Amino acid sequence: MTRVLASLFAVAALLAAGHAQAESFYVPDIMGGGPNFVQGSSPIPKATVYFNGNYAPGTIVVNTAERRLYLVLPNGQALRYGIGVGRDGFRWGGVHKITAKKEWPSWTPPAEMLARRHDIPRHMAGGINNPLGARALYLGSTLYRIHGSNEPETIGQAVSSGCFRMTNDDVTDLYNRVSVGATVVVLN
């Protein structure tokens, strides 16, 4: 509610100042996002790290306890990304494959989410305000995805309904490095 009021106030102020061009106005900038709001730098920067594990290069390993996602590289290394994970009661584990990749995906909340949250839309077209962010990697026949987020402050937190959130910069980087069919191991 505070963001909505702040947005309305900012629009009124800009219109009063004679800046009525829609192209020059970007709502997240006035909501504390700044110029990097959509792309957003992660509070947990991506890093190349040594990785001890018996996984083939190209495998994604999600460690929900660490709130980190690893893309396994050759020679005992991995790219480590910060992620947001499922809140209590929504964490899960298993092995799946990436079955689809989408840029600026649309979002249709599953029936389970709609039953819990009556205030969310039934469908949202892809774009900067969509909760799936810039990219999504779909995990097998599950309802879950590895996806972007326009809320970089949630990275490192347990806030989702089971999906794994990354900043839009990080999910775009991961998206460009993996293919449909890649194995995803979720450790819980």
**So which residues are the catalytic ones?**
147, 163
Q: Which residues pair with 187 in a beta bridge?
A: 63
The backbone torsions φ and ψ at residue 141, rounded to the nearest 5 degrees and listed phi first, read -90, 10
Q: What is the DSSP letter of 54?
A: -
| Rg, C-alpha atoms of the chain | 18
Residue with tokens 């690893």: 70
Contact 70, 51 (CB under 8 A): yes
Give 110's Cβ-side CA count (13 Å radius): 10
Determine the Cα–Cα distance for residues 149 and 40; give it in Å rounded to an integer: 9
CA 112 to chain centre: 20
Determine the Cα–Cα distance for residues 161 and 85; give it in Å rounded to an integer: 8
Q: What is the DSSP letter of 143?
A: S
Determine the Cα–Cα distance for residues 10 and 67; give it in Å rounded to an integer: 35
